[in-house]
Structure 1
Amino acid sequence: MAGAIRIHKTGGPEVLSYETVEVPAPGPGEALIRHHACGVNFIDTYYRSGLYSPGPLPFVLGAEGAGEVLAVGEGVTNVLPGDRVAYAGSIGSYAQERLYPAARLVTLPAGIAYEQAAAMMLKGMTAQYLLRRTFRVEKGHTVLVQAAAGGVGLLLCQWAKALGATVIGTVGSEEKAALARANGADHTVLYKSEDWVKRVAELTGGEKCDVVYDGVGRDTYPGSLDCLKPLGYWVSFGNASGPVEPVSPLVLMQKGSLFMTRPTLGTYTAKREDLVATANELFAAVASGAITVPINQRYALKDARKAHEDLEGRATTGASVLIP
């Protein structure tokens, strides 16, 4: 038996319930993990609210965790009991213990702590594929990061700067602006009090940006498109303010033959070799000091409701973790 956060109906943070659940022995291809830390991500609120379908109710929330392998099922060879592992993917991480497909686990290097791993697997691997595969950022590019003080935003700012890009970040307060600049943003724009589209144009001398990384959604459309130079990339990877309305291909034509994509981590890491390569590049970037993972909020597992209230209230910066 193990403590876990379960949902019996979708809705607000109040539907999160701390309960005791039974965790069976691992079956073929599975590993039993004891979590040392669980990541909290905005996508968790989409499943909790019903924006994304979670599958049958009730279910355990959460898609990211790090811990120790307690036991493995038949046929598992890539991890062993006692191994330090982490993952990001299938929901069910808001728990003291859980079963997980062993082939989707990655082994943690000695220099990566459990909390650090739980805080960065989903956000860090997201930053990796966005910067290195969806649009390959190189020296000389100009990058706009929406919600630059958020969990993914801070990693995007750091990593894009390390790659030689000029980084502009939108933020909601002076405090968050300072945080974004401390994490690599060359310029910050206060979207609540400034005409941020006009300001981005001014900062770039009218040239605008090669790529916009947009995890905000409804509130930044169509403004994100207006921040792009011709042939620029609008990478819409989240819906923090709600889903984007349907986009006409003609709009992309009219605004400069723009590219639009709606990528997901699951697609980019569907093959195990891609999962391992993505995680290893992330671990290498952390080990080199190119990026750090700021864990600015820690909550007990039973306080997951508070974590969600803070996240949706935009009262958080960087990463948040739950401690079982």
Structure 2
Amino acid sequence: MQAIVMTETGGPDVLVAREVGEPRPGAGQVVIRAEAVPVLYPETKIRAGTFPAPAPLPEVFGFQAAGTVIDIGAGVDRGLLGARVVASTSGFGSYAELVAADADSVTVIPAELTIEHAAAIQMPGSVALTLMRTAAVAAGDTVLVEAAATGVGSCLTQLCAAAGVRVIGTAGGEQKARLARDNGAHEVLDHTAPDWADRLTDLLADGTVDVVFDSIGGDSLTPLLDLITPLRGRILSYGWLAGAPAQLGATDLILRGLTLTGCAGTAWLGEVARQQSAALTATAQGLLTPAIDSILPLADAARAHRMLEDRMAFGTVLLRP
């Protein structure tokens, strides 16, 4: 079968199309015929060597795929045969025509959803739902969603708007700002502008931000600290688009009575996994709308990674084996 092998860490060209053996399901596993493989931003960091690779190289790359279950291992419910599912691998293996995954990692796709929409929404939707629960967003809050046109940012914007909160989004450039507005942001600031924090001050007038969803990291939060509600302001840091996590010290938070929750690690990922089915259900109910930028042949995996790294994608990029 055709697959994309990560030969070593480095640029997108380390993702190479090769013929490899077909996987067999072990006990407790399924094999799916992949029809849509989402290209996830954290995968670009693993490929580049910023995050550690979860398996020795070379290896078939990829963390998620959506398709149809065609084989099952011992101990797996036979009712899964023929089911349309989104599957998560234990490390590598999803950039391929056939994908083996643990049965307890698969989520059955509601009949109302296409496989492509399910593949595009499950990761950003489940992260966004977990962020919303953790932040305890309530009607009447003012929320700042950084990078509101990204996958998770778009889902957060939609969920916050539906919850009756004032949503201020940030985006890089007018096209992404338009997407953020389409998703429900009431105001959008260009976070590439050097004075964007000053513009936020003007928007708030005498008000403050109750919740900041931080996906940029770096020093992006520093000019915002005095604009966050004292004593109950919450910062949820879940991304490093700037290349490093939020650069804040305990004193920055203590003197203002703010809390910062780091949204990473094993416990956090467990919470996200528990929201996978809810993300698909929310999409089937119309609460979330997936945005698909493009569907590329599996062999174009390197091109897909370049699109994400160059911030050229306006929605999820899917690979089709």
**Is 2:153 aligned against 1:153?**
yes
* Secondary structure of 2:70's aligned partner: strand
SS in 2 for 1:209: coil
Provide the residue aligned with 1:41 in structure 2. 40
Aligned to 1:104: 105
Q: Which moved more, 1:280-289 or 1:33-42?
A: 280-289
Cα deviation code 1:173-225 (max 9, x no counterpart) = 11111111011110000122352222222222232211111122225242454
Tell me how far apart the structure 2 counterparts of residues 89 and 27 of structure 1 sit (CA, whole Å): 13
Question: Matches of 1:160 and 1:11 in 2, distance apart?
Answer: 37
**CA–CA separation in structure 2 for the residues paired with 1:148 and 1:221:** 15
The structure 2 residue matched to 1:308, chosen from 301, 305, 310, is 305
**Aligned partner of residue 159 in structure 1, secondary structure:** helix
* 1:294 Cα offset (Å): 1.2
From 276, 281, 286, give the equivalent of 1:279: 276
Sequence identity (%): 37
Q: 2:84: which partner in 1?
A: 84
Within the alignment, does 1:239 sit opposite 2:240 as a pair?
yes
**Aligned residue in 2 for 1:16:** 15
Work out the CA distance in 2 between the residues paired with 1:296 and 1:53: 28
Amino acid at match of 1:52: F
Q: TM-score, normalised by structure 1?
A: 0.92
State the match for 1:185 in structure 2: 185
- Note the C-alpha offset of 1:291: 1.8
> CA offsets per residue over residues 4-37 of structure 1, 9 Å max, x none?
1111211111211111121331111111111110
How far apart, CA to CA, are the structure 2 residues paired with 1:87 and 1:220? 34
Between the aligned partners of 2:223 and 2:88, the Cα distance in structure 1 is 31
| Deviates most, 92-101 or 213-222 | 213-222
1:250 is matched with 251
Query: Which residue matches 2:119?
Result: 118
Secondary structure (helix, strand or coil) at the match of 1:117 reads: helix
Deviations 1:58-88 (A, max 9, x none): 1222222211111110111275211111134
> Secondary structure of 2:94's match?
coil
**2:295 aligns to what?**
298
Stretch deviating more after TM superposition (70-79 or 308-317):
70-79
Distance 1:167 1:41, change over 3 A: same
Q: Distance in 2 between matches of 1:50 and 1:225?
A: 32
Q: Which residue of 1 aligns with 2:207?
A: 207
Residues 89 and 266, structure 1, Cα contact 8 Å, conserved in 2: no
Structure 2 residue runs of 5 or longer lacking an equivalent are: none
Q: Does 1:53 align with 2:52?
A: yes
- Aligned partners of 2:204 and 2:69: how far apart in 1? 49
Distance 1:182 1:312, change over 3 A: same
1:60 and 1:94 in contact (8 A); partners too: yes
RMSD, aligned CA: 2.0
- Pick closer, same or farther for the CA change 1:246–1:312 going to 2, 3 Å: same
Q: What SS does structure 2 have at the residue aligned with 1:305? A: helix
Q: Given residue 296 of structure 2, which amino acid in structure 1 is its aligned partner?
A: Y
1:11 match: secondary structure? coil
> Quick check: 1:71 aligned with 2:68?
no
